[in-house]
């Protein structure tokens, strides 16, 4: 019988990076585990994301639902539990699907692994999950150090880049049609992605039911830092436009960014700069975003995953990192792209513009720097997946 892997991923559809984790991991498994039947078990069951996955991977299987307290589940999911040889928890901000991993352990007793996550705290329940995993690969080395310091006993632990950077989904038709309507010319615009300090999920996700105190804390944090951060983006945009005349597309990585693009980035720009701006005022999926990033001269992002989507499409990207993302952003140091990483609290708008203008002055050098980084990332993915699969099919015993 053909071997099968059950992939738990697909955390949400209000973030093109979280969407990108899934097709990125499937592309890696397609390349490095050929002949394996891949089953997608989405955490957030989004019809749009499921359709994106099926367009790119028409031979995969998608199963739905969760496991009841008594072990009951829909027949397709039960069949996947029976047929799959391995559960892989995909890249993400944490071990998001702890319950699903525990259900798999309890019902099947078969191996599971974790590939490309951040770990920021280790509780008793999480420690047990980590101890008994066949492999754990964190998406930055700070998490790896935390695992070692906590005494996690998983036999195979290392760093592997976030699977989003392997994403190869595209929707060129939709992207080109939108670019034509927006008046954008390939190679003659940059994409700029702003971000709130904390994601207001109470605004963008109907399923979120935060206490009012937490909502106030998030909104207060965003209000206190919004002008501080976005004024630096506006200064960089102004310098860029005045020096190059190249257009700027304001666009979102997170759905909540749609609420700040216009009033907080576009509207306060100088009168001579606004005519060079294009405002993306509606949501998109990772495939369309990737196709547009691929046609941009460069990307300037305050969010972590737009660079990972732009990189495999050959587009240089400056990442202006906010302190709330310092841990996951360390992946850029780990895979050697730190020259384009700028902590927002340490720079001003001119410094950001200067980094972009350096790319503009030497686009060939920027492409070579990017190509070397992509090669390093590809080698890391190939090596870690080989080690992960070797661990499963010849697992060391816990001592």
Q: Fold for 4-166+378-393, please state it.
A: Rossmann fold (3.40.50)
User: Model-level pTM?
Assistant: 0.96
Residue 397: what pLDDT? 37
Position 83 confidence tier, pLDDT thresholds 50, 70, 90: very high
Task: Please state the rounded mean pLDDT for residues 134-161.
Answer: 98
The percent of residues in the chain predicted with pLDDT above 70, rounded, is 98
Q: Express each pLDDT in 92-133 by its tens digit.
A: 999 999 999 999 999 999 999 999 999 999 988 999 999 999
**Least confident span in 24-33, 204-213, 236-245:** 204-213
pLDDT at 159 over 60: yes
The C-alpha atoms of residue 219 and residue 72 are separated, in whole angstroms, by 40
pLDDT at 154 over 60: yes
Q: Express each pLDDT in 26-63 by its tens digit.
A: 999 999 999 999 999 999 999 999 999 999 999 999 99
Position 205 confidence tier, pLDDT thresholds 50, 70, 90: confident
Residue 295: what pLDDT? 99
Other C-beta atoms closer than 10 Å to the C-beta of 69 total 6
Task: Please state the rounded mean pLDDT for residues 74-78.
Answer: 97
Residue 399: what pLDDT? 29
Residue 2: what pLDDT? 85
Three-state SS string over 175-186 comes to: HHHHHHHHCCCC
- The token duo for 226 is 């919004």
pLDDT at 268 over 50: yes
> Which position has the token pair 């984790």?
21
Residue 394: what pLDDT? 64
Tell me where in the chain the CATH 3.40.50.2000 domain(s) lie.
172-361
Residues whose CB falls within 8 Å of the CB of residue 185, separated by 6 or more in sequence, listed in order:
179, 247
pLDDT at 396 over 50: no
pLDDT at 398 over 80: no
The sign of the torsion formed by the CA atoms of 104, 82, 29, 295 equals negative
Residues whose CB falls within 8 Å of the CB of residue 341, separated by 6 or more in sequence, listed in order:
319, 321, 329, 332, 333
Q: Express each pLDDT in 290-345 by its tens digit.
A: 999 999 999 999 999 999 999 999 999 999 999 999 999 999 999 999 999 999 99
pLDDT at 277 over 70: yes
Position 88 confidence tier, pLDDT thresholds 50, 70, 90: very high
CATH, domain 172-361, list 3.90.1660.10, 1.10.287.4070, 3.40.50.2000, 1.10.3720.10:
3.40.50.2000
**Which residue, among 234, 342, 180, 256, has the nearest Cα to 16 in the 3D structure?**
256
The mean pLDDT of the chain is 96
Q: Report helix, strand or coil for 100.
A: helix
pLDDT at 193 over 80: yes
Task: Please state the rounded mean pLDDT for residues 232-253.
Answer: 99
Residue 208: what pLDDT? 83
Residue 117 and residue 138 in contact, taking contact as beta carbons nearer than 8 Å: yes
Tell me where in the chain the CATH 3.40.50.11720 domain(s) lie.
4-166+378-393
User: Which parts of the chain fold into alpha helices (H)?
Assistant: 16-32, 47-56, 75-83, 98-108, 124-131, 141-149, 172-182, 201-204, 212-244, 258-260, 286-295, 305-310, 326-329, 331-334, 349-361, 363-393
């Amino acid at each position: 019988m053909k071997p099968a892997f059950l992939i738990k991923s697909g955390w949400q559809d209000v973030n093109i990076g979280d969407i990108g984790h899934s097709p990125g991991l499937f592309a890696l498994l397609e390349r490095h585990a050929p002949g394996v039947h891949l089953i997608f078990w989405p955490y957030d069951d989004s019809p749009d994301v499921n359709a994106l996955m099926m367009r790119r991977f028409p031979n995969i299987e998608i199963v739905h639902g969760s496991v009841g307290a008594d072990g009951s589940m829909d027949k397709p999911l039960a069949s996947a539990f029976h047929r799959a040889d391995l559960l892989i928890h995909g890249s993400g901000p944490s071990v998001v699907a702890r319950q699903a991993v525990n259900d798999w352990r309890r019902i099947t007793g078969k191996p599971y692994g974790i590939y490309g996550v951040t770990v920021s705290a280790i509780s008793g329940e999480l420690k047990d999950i980590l101890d008994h995993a066949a492999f754990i690969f964190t998406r930055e080395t700070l998490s790896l150090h935390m695992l070692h310091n906590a005494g996690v006993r998983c036999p195979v632990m290392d760093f592997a880049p976030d699977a989003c950077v392997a994403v190869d989904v595209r929707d060129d038709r939709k992207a080109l049609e939108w670019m034509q309507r927006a008046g954008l010319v390939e190679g003659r615009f940059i994409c700029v992605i702003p971000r709130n300090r904390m994601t207001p999920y109470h605004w963008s996700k109907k399923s979120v039911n935060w206490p009012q105190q937490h909502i106030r804390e998030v909104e207060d944090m965003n209000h206190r830092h919004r002008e501080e951060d976005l004024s630096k983006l506006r200064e960089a945009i102004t310098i860029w436009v005045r020096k190059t005349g190249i257009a700027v597309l304001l666009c979102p990585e997170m759905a909540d960014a749609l609420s700040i693009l216009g009033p907080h980035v576009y509207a306060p720009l100088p009168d001579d700069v606004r005519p060079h701006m294009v405002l993306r005022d509606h949501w998109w999926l990772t495939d369309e975003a990737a196709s547009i990033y691929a046609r941009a001269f460069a990307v300037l992002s305050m969010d972590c995953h737009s660079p990972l989507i732009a990189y495999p499409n050959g587009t240089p990207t400056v990442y202006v990192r906010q302190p709330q993302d310092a841990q996951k952003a360390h992946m850029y140091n780990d895979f050697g792209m730190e020259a384009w990483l700028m902590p927002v609290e340490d720079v001003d708008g001119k410094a950001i513009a200067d980094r972009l203008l350096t790319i503009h002055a030497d686009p060939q050098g920027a492409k070579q720097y990017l190509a070397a980084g992509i090669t390093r990332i590809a080698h890391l993915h190939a090596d870690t997946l080989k080690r992960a699969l070797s661990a499963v099919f010849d697992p060391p015993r816990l001592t």
